[in-house]
Amino acid sequence: MPVPATRLVPSTGTERIELIDALRGFALAGVLLANLDPLSLYYFLDEAARAHLPTAGFDAWAVYATNLLVAGKFITLFSLLFGLSFSVQLERAQAKGAGLAPYLRRIAVLLLIGFLHTYLLWWGDILLVYALLAVALIAFLHVPDRWLLITGLVLALSWPLAKPLIEGLRPPGLAGEAQMYAASLAAFSSSSVADAFTQNIAFANWNRWASWGVLPFVFADFLLGYWAGRKRLLHDPLAHAALLRTLVLVGGLAGLVASIVAPRFEASSAAEGVGTLALQVVLQRLGPLGLGCAYAAGFALLFQRPAWQRWLRWLAPVGRMALTNYLIQTPVCLALFYGTGLGLGQAGGYPARYLAWAAIFAAQIAFSHWWLARFRFGPVEWVWRSATYGRAQLLRREPAILP
């Protein structure tokens, strides 16, 4: 008999896979480093303003290294893990005799969290996109593994063919990039909460059109992550060691080469042909996809070695409460860099970003270990799960019983 929905409960610590949690924590570290570019307001500076910073010499090398190894790569890894978690949730729901209702409620709560995070705090939120696309994953529930993999790869690399069509759907009078960046830099650097809040909403809405390409690419990551979950690549990495090593070598090399070559096409214009522009975008997508997969496979292989696992396990608590940690990063960075906070802004260049990244993530590691030693879920995870299952979940851990 199917288990009634009211009896369904979220996974406990004993059901979790430590490798996946640790890998999610690793992904979150890279996401924070990449997000510090817009959160520190450096993202909105033009080339002339960047050249006048006292850290301009260091920044030039740091920008190149970050774009090569971090930007786009860790959000790809984060998205792959989301697709993989879908397969895990589905397996558990089927084992308990449940349908899709708990999954849909979970996505609905995530949608609300993403909407509030986007429009109340930061335009760069990814949770809203995840929630919207997660519903579409249901259509692939019974798609064979082979077609799941093929569809993911094709969607990831061939969506530039739709660019002319999407560009034609843009609303008339949509502001240009230079105009929006200048207005955002002024508003976010000011001490006016109202100005920052209003511009955040305006930029969030503008960015949905300016960055439309993130939607098909993230969904492709979901499909590939779902495929990896079905194949249990991270559930039993030793059984798939040969494939994981191939992903490290082939994905890493292809992603690295594409990331190096792609910037050479940035000066291309429509006059030089649609093929050149399509090649540019394909290379831009191949870089994050190849390196994101290589990072995941390499991490999984290293985790099988006791000497490495001893250190990598420290990331597992961060990954277990990834939603809490992701959301906490936003107000902390706003308090540091925005004019409504300390107003550090972009003046410190990349050195300030790297210092902020190290301090924030180290604090999150410590906080995650402290919290999960006392509680079963992260605070936002507890809210998410309680809302999903319609009742408050047990939060505090039971004290150990001494003999």
What would the mean pLDDT of 30-44 be, rounded to a whole number? Answer: 96
Residue 233 domain boundaries: 5-389
Query: What does the pLDDT average to over 170-196?
Result: 90
Given a cut of 60, is residue 285 above it in pLDDT?
yes
Give the model's confidence band at 64: pLDDT under 50 very low, under 70 low, under 90 confident, else very high. very high
Average of pLDDT values for 285-314?
95
Number of domains within the chain:
1
The share of the chain scoring above pLDDT 70, in percent, equals 86
Confidence of residue 339 (pLDDT cuts 50, 70, 90): very high
Q: Is the pLDDT of residue 11 over 90?
A: no
The amino acid at 229: G
Confidence of residue 399 (pLDDT cuts 50, 70, 90): low
Q: What's the pLDDT band for 16 if we cut at 50, 70, 90?
A: low
* Paired strand residues for 121: none
Is the residue at 200 inside a domain?
yes
3-state secondary structure of 117: helix
Mean pLDDT of 29-58: 95
Q: What is the pLDDT of residues 227-247, one digit of tens each?
A: 999 999 999 999 999 999 999
| Mean pLDDT of the residues in the chain | 88
Residue 253 domain flag: yes
Choose between 264 and 57: higher pLDDT: 57
> Residue 385 corresponds to which amino acid?
R
Confidence of residue 98 (pLDDT cuts 50, 70, 90): low
Determine the pLDDT at residue 213.
Answer: 78
Q: Contact 148/140 with Cβ under 8 angstroms?
A: yes
Closest Cα partner for 381 from 308, 324, 300? 324
Angle, vertex CA 81, rays to CA 121 and CA 72, nearest 5: 60
The reported pLDDT for the residue numbered 400 is 52
Cα separation, 290 vs 76, in Å, equals: 9
Task: Kindly state whether residue 259 falls inside one of the protein's structural domains.
Answer: yes
**pLDDT for residue 6:** 36
The yes-or-no verdict on residue 103 having pLDDT over 90 is no
End-to-end CA distance of the chain: 40
Residue 403 forms part of a structural domain: no
Look at residue 217 and tell me whether its pLDDT is greater than 60: yes
Residue 233, φ and ψ in degrees, nearest 5: -65, -40
pLDDT higher than threshold 70 for residue 2: no
How far apart CA 19 and CA 316 sit, in angstroms, is 7
164 pLDDT higher than 50: yes
Is 379 inside a domain boundary?
Answer: yes
**Sequence-distant (≥ 6) Cβ neighbours of residue 87 within 8 angstroms:** 225, 226, 228, 229, 230
Q: How many angstroms separate the Cα of 36 from the Cα of each of 32, 42, 122, 227?
A: 6, 8, 12, 31
pLDDT(331) > 70: yes
From the CB of residue 227, how many other CB atoms can be counted at a distance below 10 Å? 25
pTM: 0.90
Indicate if the pLDDT at residue 166 is higher than 80.
no
Based on DSSP, count helices (H) and strands (E) in the chain, helices before strands.
19, 0
Residue with tokens 């994050």: 288
Give the number of other CB atoms < 10 A from CB of residue 173: 5
- DSSP letter string over 313-349? GGGHHHHHTHHHHHHHHHHHHHHHHSTTTT--TTTTH
- Structural domain contains residue 185: yes
Q: Closest Cα partner for 356 from 39, 63, 25, 16?
A: 39
Burial track 288-322 (b if 16+ CB lie within 10 A, e otherwise): bbbbbbbbbbbbbbebeeeeeeeebeebbbbbbbb
Task: Tell me what pLDDT residue 165 has.
Answer: 64
Are 134 and 100 within 8 A, CB to CB?
no
Q: Is the pLDDT of residue 403 over 60?
A: no
Give the mean pLDDT of 304-322: 96
- Residue 234: burial class (beta carbons within 10 Å; 0-12, 13-18, 19+): buried
Overall average pLDDT of the 109-135 stretch? 95
Residue 279 predicted with pLDDT over 90: no
Examine residue 399 and state whether it is found in any structural domain, yes or no.
no
- Specify the range with the lowest mean pLDDT, choosing from 190-194, 257-261, 291-295, 367-371: 257-261
Instruction: Tell me, yes or no, whether 332 lies in a domain.
Output: yes
